[in-house]
Amino acid sequence: MSDADCAPDPAAVKRALSRLVDDDPLARGERALESLPVAAGFVERGGLADLRTVAATAEGERAVRARQVLDAFRAFWMAARSDCPDQFHRGRDTPLGRDG
Q: Quote the pLDDT of residue 7.
A: 81
Alpha carbon distances (Å) from 24 to 30, 33, 45, 79: 10, 15, 14, 27
Q: What is the pTM of this model?
A: 0.62
Q: Quote the pLDDT of residue 96.
A: 57
Domain parsing of the chain, residue ranges: 16-80
Write out residues in the chain with pLDDT < 70, as ranges: 1-5, 18-22, 82-100
Residues 6+ apart with CB under 8 A from 35: none
Q: Quote the pLDDT of residue 8.
A: 82
Supply angle C-alpha 39, 13, 46, rounded to 5. Answer: 25
pLDDT of 32-45, one tens digit each? 999 889 999 999 99
The angle that helices 25-32 and 36-44 make with each other, rounded to 10 degrees, is 140
